Structures are given as C-alpha cells and as structure tokens.
Structure 1
Amino acid sequence: MDFLLIGLCLNWLLRKPPGLILCTLGIFSKMLPAVNSGCPQLCRCEGRLLYCESLNLTEMPRNLSGMMGLSLRYNSLSELHDGQFTGLMQLTWLYLDHNHICSVEGNAFQKLRRVKELTLSSNKITQLPNNTFRPMPNLRSVDLSYNNLQSLEPDLFHGLRKLTTLHMRSNAIKFVPVRIFQDCRSLKFLDIGYNQLKSLARNSFAGLFKLTELHLEHNDLVKVNLAHFPRLISLHSLCLRRNKVTIVVNTLDWIWQLEKLDLSGNEIEYIEPHVFESVPHLKSLQLDSNRLTYIDSRILDSWKSLTSISLSANTWDCGRNVCALASWLSSFKGRYDSNLLCATPEYAQGEDVLDAVYAFHLCEDTVDPTSVNTLSPMINNSDQMFGYGSAAATAYAPEADEEPTTYAITVTLPGEGAENAVQIHKVVTGTMALIFSFLIVVLVLYVSWKCFPASIRQLRQCFVTQRRKQKQKQTMHQMAAMSAQEYYVDYKPNHIEGALVIINEYGSCSCHQQPARECEV
C-alpha cells in the first residue's frame, strides 16, 4: 500500500504540480497513526524497542505493531490471553518478568515466530499448557524461574530445537517427565534447582546431547545414581548441592566427560567404590558438609585427574581407616580445604586429620593401640569369646597325639577409654624418660665441674711423690752397692810355684784401695 501511494505521488508530481500537495498530505496522513501509536504514553522508545517498565500496567499497551523488542517488567499484569500479542510479528524478545501473572492460555504467544528470548520469571504461574511455546520455534532462551510451577507437561518443550538456555529455578516442581527435553538438542544450560524433586527417571534428560551445565541443587533427592545421566555426553558441570542424598551409586558402566561435580551439603554416608571410574576427567569435586567417616582406597585410586577437592565438615573417623585418605592427601598436589577435623575417637576429636595421624602415630602401629595383654589362643577355631572388662581362661589338656596350643597374652581394654589410657600412658612414659635423661646429664656436668680440678691436683701430687720415691730408692741402692763392695787382691806371683807360695804366704801382692778405706793384706 505504501509503494502504491509513493507511485501515485510521483505520477502527480510529474504531470500536475497541484498533485504535490495532495501527495504530501497523503504521506503524512499515512505516517501519523504509526508515529502516534509507536511510543505509548509514559513508555520509553529506542527505535523499534519499547520499554514500558514499572508503570503498574494491568493491560497490554495497544497499537504496538512493528516493534522488535518489548519490555513490560515490574507491572501488574495478571493474565495472558489468547492472541494478546497479535500484531507483534516482528518481535524478537519479550520481557514479562516481575508481574502478577498467574495463568497463561495456550495461544497467548500466537504468531510470535521470531521471538528468541522470553522471560516469565518472578510471577505466580502454576501451570503452562502443552502448546505454550509451540508458536515460538526460534526460542533460544526461556526463563520460568521464581514461579509456582508444580508440574511440567510432557510436551511443554516440544519443537524447541534451537533452545540453548532454560531456567526453572525456585518453583515447586516435584517430577521431571520422561523425555520432556527430547527435542531440545541444542540446550547447553539447564537449571532446575530449588525445587521439590524427590527422584529422577532414568530418561528424564534424554536428548540433551549438547548440555554442558546442569543444576539440581536444593531439591529433595535422597539417592544419586549416575546412571540417570547416561546420554549427557557433553556435560562438564553437575551441581547436586544441598539435597538429602545419603548414597551415591552407579548402576551403568559408561564413561562421560564430567569435569566438575558438587555433592556438598548432603547427608552422604556411603559412596560405591567404582562410582568415579566413569568420570576419568573429573577435575573439581565437592564433598564437604556430609556424613562421610572414611574414603575407600579404591575411590582414592580413581581420583587421578582431580585438581581441586573439598572434604571438610564430615564426621571423619581418625582410626585405622583414615590412613588411606591421609596418605592420599599428603601426596595430592592440587587444592583442598585444610579444615578436615576428626569426629572420632574421643582423644582425637577436633584435631586436624593429618595432625592426628602424625601425632598419634595412627598409621605406624601394626597392632591396634587399644589392645594390650589379652589372653586368647592363637588357633583358628577358638571356642572362647571374651567380653570387654572380663577375665576368663579355660584349662585345656592336649591329647597324646595333639600338639600343645600356644597362647598369646592380650587383654582388650574397653572402647574409647582404653585408647585414651594407652595414649596417656605413652605420653607419660615419654615425658618421664625425657626428664630422667635430663637429670642424668645435669648430674654428670655438676660432678665433673666440682671434682675435676681436685682430681688433677691429686694426680700431680701422686706423680711427684712417686718420682721422689723412685729417686730415694735409686740413692739407697747406690749406697748399698758402695758399702758392700769389698777390697780385692791382685796377686802376681814371682815364681812358678804360685799355689804353694799363696798357701805359705810367700810372695808379693798389691792392694787396690777404694776411697776412704785402708788397704788390708
């Protein structure tokens, strides 16, 4: 019609000059209604985008044809009737959040084929008909969060093959129908957190081949079975925080690309040892604020790709079962929270897990520290069962062909008190030994300090006395030798008959005299 009017104007302009006036009037008369209807009173217009926000509107503005974007946020709309948006065929986005909408009729969005983004959050919608989104096959993003949705129709999202983001947070949804997302093959982000889900069907998420992030936090799930997510081959992040999960299992043997798993704030007491074998690329794991007492060594062996883990606020049992976890944490090179505290036994309560392991030598003793001196036969078939605090023994006389039974003396102390007593005994013994060693060292130092100089003087005096005695002995020996020395005679006979001359005292002799002595013949 506009092109026809322009053609007539050109014809009049070329043939008859008075036609110019008529043509100009016709154009202005044609454009005037559009200009007047393009931006309703109190609304803000930016080209073909219309913003009618926070105006307390109870009805849709009229004459909005040609608009590409419409925002009716923070108003008082209560219902969306069939055909209410007729004439907005150019619309690409529609914001209706923060109103009082409680009902949406099936054909309310009729002829809105170009709409890519629809926001209905923060309303009072309790139910959506099956064909609600069918007139909008080009939807990329839908936000239904913060409503009162209690159930989802099985075909509610049928035909939305281009949908990439879906928010349904903070509703009252109790069940996800099987294959409800089967047509949403382009969906990458799905948020069903803060609802009332108590269980998941195995094929609830069938068809979501491109889904990368799934939020199921703050629901009422009591069991997590990784077999519920078998076809989420592109999923990288799964959030199951703040549910009521007590057990984590996997009843299907398959491998997927999950990198982040959040199971914090649940009531998990048991995890199947092979659960994490299906997620070999897992990098971040949150298991804090649960009821775990220990981690199976097979689970620890499957945590090869982790770079971050959270294990705090659990009820860790710092007994022998904690050794595998302590060893793994000691060699772990990634990030982990340091607030891992022991809940049991009593003597280790409140202590850091690693500190308790090293302080109490929990992983060094091969014998249970609570067992000391218990009488029990070292045979496989024992007929005697000993209770805590009891002492009993049975006399057994072996037969002729039987070998005597060897008995080991062991007395089991009762419960945690025994462990406490053993630890106290170790501490006291070590302290006493240290004090005794210190006293011995001090005593040796004191005695040496007091007695060492006197000992030296005594040794020197003894040495001098000994020297004097030796000199005196030498002098006495010399004097004795001098007094005992006799004169000797050197006889030289003059003739050959010396023997007769000596007998008859005939001949000459010479006397050699010592000093101070006279010669005697």
Structure 2
Amino acid sequence: MGKLLLAARRTLPSIVVFLCWAITGVNSVCPVRCSCNTTIDAVIVDCTSQGLTNIPSPLPDNTTHLYLRDNEIDSFSGLQNYEQIIVLDLSWNKIRSIPQSRHRPELSMEILDLSYNNIRQIEAYCFTGLDNLLLLDLSGNVIDSIDGDTFIHLPSLTELRLHDNKLNIFTKSTNTLLMLETLDLSSNEIYSLHDSMLSDMDELITLSLQRNAIIFVDKNVFHSLQNLRRLDISYNPIKKLPDIIFDGMDSLEYLELSADSLDAIAEVAKTMGYTQNWFKAMINMQFVLSENSYFQDENGSFTDQKVGIRYMEKLNSISKTSSASNALLSQQQDNLFEPQRYNGIAETGP
C-alpha cells in the first residue's frame, strides 16, 4: 500500500499537467534541437545554428521570440502563423521569397530579420498585418526591386536596413515611412537620388548611402529631411552637387563625403561663400572629406591652391564653436553607420 501511494504521488503532477494541456490546448513542448526559456513577459525559442531545413512546428504556445538564425531554411509559411511573436529572426538562411497575403490579421511583431538570405524581390503584399513592426532588416540579400506599395503596410517602422543588395533605385508610395528614423541603403547600385525618393520622411535622423553608383543628385532630394542629423554619401562617383542641396537642413551634424569625385565642390564653395547655402545651417556639423584627393595636397593637407578657399580654417572655426558635440561625434564616427543588432528594440532574448 505504501509503495502504491508513493507511486501515485509521483505520477499525480504529470497527470495534472497532462489534463491541463488536454483541457486548455496549451503546448509547452520545446521543439527538438531548440532551447526554450520562459520569463515573466516572454517565451523564447532559440533554434540558432541547428541545421534546420524547416521552421519547427508546433511551437510552444504564446512564443514571443523565435530565433532561427544560421540554418538551411529555404521557405516559410505565411506570417499569420506567428501572431504572438514579437521578434522573428530568420537571418542567414536560404529563403528566396516572402509569402504574400492581402488579408492578413494584425500581428504583434516588432522586429523581423530576414537579412543574408537569397531574396530577390519585395512584392506589395509581403508585409500586410505588420502594423506594429519597428525594425525590418533585409540587408545582405540580392534584392533588385521593391514594389512602391510595400511600405503602405508598415506605418510604425522606425528602422529599415537594405544595405548590401542589388537595388539601382529606391521608390516608395507617398505618405509612407512617415515614422522612419534610420534608413540604410549603402552598398547597393543606386545611381540617382531623385526628388521624391525621400519624400514625407520628416522623422529621418540617419541616412546611409555610401558605396553606391550615384552620379546624379536632385537639388530637392534632401529638402524634406528637417530632422536629419547624419548623412553618408561617401564612395560614390558624384561629380556635382547643386549649390542649394543642403538648404534648410538645420539639424545636420555629420556629413561624410570621403573618396567622392566632387569636382564641383570647390567652385560651389568659392561662388556661394561660407555663409551661403552650403554652410549657413551647419554651424555644428562635422564635415568629413578624408580620402578625397581633390581637396588635398601630397601631404594630405587641404590647399587653397586647389580649392580656392581655406577649408581647414573654416572647419577649425566650426570645431571651436561646438567642441563638445564634435568631440562626441569624433568618438562615435567609426561605428556611426554600422548597424547595431536590433538597436535596443524588444531586447528580451538569448
């Protein structure tokens, strides 16, 4: 009898748990080859680097963070299957396309990382239902086209990463990306910055366009960016910049033009003067022209023989005016445009 009671005590908790699962339908079984962790406000499933070819199913109910980085997954079903997930990381897989849906229920997702896959096109209805998405990472793919209506379905997006793709033009519908603060289009094949490219993006703070093929810049392309603080257009074959290109950009603090072929800067600066257009709204700006041989002599010093004006005297004056802010920017400039993983958004995770 004693042994019977002991056995009953041992099996009772399992029976109770089984009955609860049966009655409520709750699934708390962790997928094979994954690790699971539950906190007060998150259910985290980590299947990183497990050689998976498919997304595990079923997942524990109420999964909020799903990490599938560095696997062999080449496709995934519609996003509607991840209604409760806040962070979905599918980076470094073999995904070729993103499923479309015109009528997807609203999802909770705030971060979607599809970087370093084999995605070629972004269609109009790939991201329906993602009204809460804050960060979308599509970098490191082979994307050569994005439907202009794609961003209609991302009203809350604050950070968009598209670096290291094959884009030769960036287009979007009007009244989209209204909340965007960071846009990274570096290392693509963009050849032109047209006037509507950045329209309605009043909240943009950081814009990275380095290492493209830009040869034409419309005079109005930056005019709506009243809050822009950091702009990198370095390593482009730009020949000329309009003399009013930076008009009204009172918030700009950092401008990177390194290694650009800006044959017209000297003439523009000489014609317009320091107090006009180019510098009139940039008293606190850190202006970077390193590696641009057009402005330097054989010792790397700026010369008024080539430029016609003393750049360094002006830059020294700017530096003295805002030494504190420039010192801070100088410390940060090495990683200014380096994408930081998830940037502190929905930080709960492994």
- TM-score, structure 1 length as denominator? 0.51
Cα deviations across residues 315-352 of structure 1 (Å, max 9, x unaligned)? 95748x75x418936974738xxxxxxxxxxxxxxxxx
Q: Counterpart of 2:133?
A: 139
Q: Which runs of 5+ in 1 are unaligned?
A: 1-21, 295-310, 336-521
Q: Counterpart of 1:203?
A: 196
Q: Counterpart of 2:33?
A: 42
Contact kept? 1:290, 1:314, Cα under 8 Å: no
Q: Counterpart of 2:310?
A: 325
Contact kept? 1:269, 1:291, Cα under 8 Å: no
Q: Counterpart of 2:58?
A: 63
Contact kept? 1:84, 1:109, Cα under 8 Å: no
Q: Counterpart of 1:228?
A: 221
Q: Counterpart of 1:334?
A: 319
Mapping 1:2-401, distance limit 5 Å = 28-31=18-21, 38-47=29-38, 48-64=43-59, 65-81=61-77, 83=78, 86=81, 88-107=82-101, 110-111=104-105, 113-177=107-171, 179-180=172-173, 182-251=175-244, 254-257=247-250, 258-271=252-265, 272-273=268-269, 274=272, 275-277=277-279, 279-292=281-294, 313=300, 316=303, 318=305, 322=308, 324-325=309-310, 328=313, 332=317, 334=319
CA distance in 2, matches of 1:235, 1:221: 20
Cα deviations across residues 93-112 of structure 1 (Å, max 9, x unaligned)? 11100101112221399446
Q: Counterpart of 2:340?
A: none
CA distance in 2, matches of 1:108, 1:37: 31
C-alpha deviation, 1:313, in angstroms = 4.6
Q: Percent identity?
A: 25
C-alpha deviation, 1:161, in angstroms = 2.0
One-letter amino acid of the structure 2 residue matched with residue 280 of structure 1: M
Contact kept? 2:246, 2:278, Cα under 8 Å: no
C-alpha deviation, 1:247, in angstroms = 1.4
Moved more, 196-205 or 159-168: 159-168
CA distance 1:68–1:313, shift in 2 (3 Å): same
One-letter amino acid of the structure 1 residue matched with residue 201 of structure 2: L
CA distance 1:276–1:330, shift in 2 (3 Å): closer
Q: Counterpart of 1:478?
A: none
C-alpha deviation, 1:286, in angstroms = 1.1
Contact kept? 1:291, 1:315, Cα under 8 Å: no
Q: Counterpart of 1:490?
A: none
SS at match of 2:231: strand
Cα deviations across residues 197-229 of structure 1 (Å, max 9, x unaligned)? 000110111111111110000000123445211
Contact kept? 2:302, 2:310, Cα under 8 Å: no
CA distance in 1, matches of 2:237, 2:130: 37
C-alpha deviation, 1:153, in angstroms = 0.7
Cα deviations across residues 157-199 of structure 1 (Å, max 9, x unaligned)? 113221111110100000011x447322211111000000000
CA distance in 1, matches of 2:89, 2:244: 43
- Tell which has more relative contact order, 1 or 2 (C-alpha 8 A, sep 6+): 2
Q: Which runs of 5+ in 2 are unaligned?
A: 1-11, 321-350
CA distance in 2, matches of 1:260, 1:122: 29
CA distance 1:25–1:293, shift in 2 (3 Å): closer
CA distance in 2, matches of 1:327, 1:171: 36
One-letter amino acid of the structure 2 residue matched with residue 31 of structure 1: W
Cα deviations across residues 403-447 of structure 1 (Å, max 9, x unaligned)? xxxxxxxxxxxxxxxxxxxxxxxxxxxxxxxxxxxxxxxxxxxxx
CA distance in 2, matches of 1:251, 1:283: 16
SS at match of 1:29: helix
CA distance in 2, matches of 1:329, 1:254: 19
Q: How many pairs are equivalent? A: 294
SS at match of 1:157: helix
CA distance 1:129–1:164, shift in 2 (3 Å): same
One-letter amino acid of the structure 2 residue matched with residue 233 of structure 1: Q
Larger helix share, 1 or 2: 1
CA distance in 2, matches of 1:260, 1:327: 16
Q: Counterpart of 2:325?
A: none
Contact kept? 1:168, 1:192, Cα under 8 Å: yes
One-letter amino acid of the structure 2 residue matched with residue 175 of structure 1: I
CA distance in 2, matches of 1:108, 1:69: 25
